[in-house]
Each structure stands twice: as structure tokens, then as C-alpha cells.
Amino acid sequence: MSLPPFQQLVDDHWRDVARLAHGLAGPVHGDDVAQQAWTQALAAYPRLTHARNLRSWLLTITHRCAMDHHRTRGRTTAHEDPASLAQAPVEPPPQAPDDVLWQRVRALPERQRQAVVLRFVGDLDHRAVAAALATSPGMSRRLVSDALATLRLELTDPEDPR
């Protein structure tokens, strides 16, 4: 058993971790969550017993950090609290087609939102999503498909049904 140098994990996966953190915690707190996830991962790294699927391991830690963040912040998301959006450090959240969609994603029931973000932003398979959410792959499938059905319904233009 040998673990690769930690720098290699950072170089290979920092973008995915940042994307997932942004998806789960929003543009204002995404960087903090990603930073916290990396600090925790570095501390725990030597205790890992195998080097299989390190990306999944990192994304699971990121997800946990984002959930801790939500718990301590009392679930204030940027669009509910415009003041927190004003503190955004560098870039405003991306405008254009994403914007409507992401508002809808934030409005989903919590479990569905977590599952859909892990599945599509984190690009995890259902087994990994289930592991992150402490549930079964079947339930993960169910959550994702319910979420997609809701989004599809909300985002389809009634004038132009496709």
C-alpha cells in the first residue's frame, strides 16, 4: 500500500473540489468550504488505509464540510440573504442560463439538492453519492430522478413544451 504525494491530489482534483464546494455552499462560501475540506483531508491523509478512488474520498470530505457549514450558518443561502451576496470576495455569481437553474436547485428539498449536486457537479456515481449521504444507491437514484423531474417541470416553458 502506498499513497501518492499529497501535492498530486491537489494538482489533480482542486478544481473538482472547488466546483462541488461552490455548488453546495454557493459562490460566497464555496472557497472557505473547499479550503476547510483540503485542511481536513491533509490532516487525515496518512491514516488512509488504501489509495482507491481518492477523488471520491476528497469529494465526500467536501460534502461533509459543506453540510457542517450549512448547519452552523442556519442554512442561509445567497439568494435568501442578498446581504451575504454583497460580501462576495471576487466575482459575482455567474449570470445567464445557469442562474435560473441554480435558484431552482437551491429551492429543492435538502436531500434532493445534495444528491443532485453530488451526482452532476461532483460527477459521482450513485454508489458514491449514496456513501456520501449515508443511504443506498437505490435511494440516491430516486432522489436524483425526483429532483430532475421537479426541475424539468419548473424549467420547461409552458409556451414551448419540449
Partner 1 sequence: MTPPTDPFTAFAPALAGPPRLEPTDVSYVLEDTSLGRMLLAVRDDGRVLTTAFAPDAAHEQHWLERVAQRVSPRVLRHPRPTDAVRRALEDFLAGRARQVAVEPDLALLSDFQRLVLTGLAASVGYGRRTTYAALAQHLGRPRAARAVGTALAGNPLCVTLPCHRVLPAAGGVGGYAGGPAAKEALLALEARSAG
- Contacting positions for partner 1 (CB under 8 A): 2-8, 10-11, 14-15, 17-19, 22-23, 27, 30-31, 34-35, 38-39, 42, 45-46, 89-91, 93-94, 97-98, 101-102, 120-121, 148, 151-152, 155-157, 160, 162
CA distances from 124 to 13, 16, 49, 60, 132 (A): 13, 11, 21, 10, 10
The nearest distance, CB 128 to partner 1, in angstroms, is: 16
Residue closer to partner 1 (CB basis): 90 or 134: 90
Residue closer to partner 1 (CB basis): 35 or 135: 35
Residue closer to partner 1 (CB basis): 4 or 109: 4
**Rounded distance between C-alpha atoms, residue 103 and residue 62, angstroms:** 21
Residue closer to partner 1 (CB basis): 47 or 134: 47
Residue 3: how many CB atoms within 10 A of its CB?
Answer: 14
The nearest distance, CB 22 to partner 1, in angstroms, is: 4
The nearest distance, CB 90 to partner 1, in angstroms, is: 7
Residue 30: how many CB atoms within 10 A of its CB?
Answer: 23
The nearest distance, CB 7 to partner 1, in angstroms, is: 5
The nearest distance, CB 160 to partner 1, in angstroms, is: 7
Q: Which residues have C-beta within 8 Å of that of residue 33, sequence separation ≥ 6?
A: 21, 24, 25, 62, 65, 66, 69
Residue closer to partner 1 (CB basis): 82 or 91: 91
DSSP string over 20-73: HHHHHHHHHHHHHHHHHHHHHHHHHGGG-S--TTHHHHHHHHHHHHHHHHHHHH
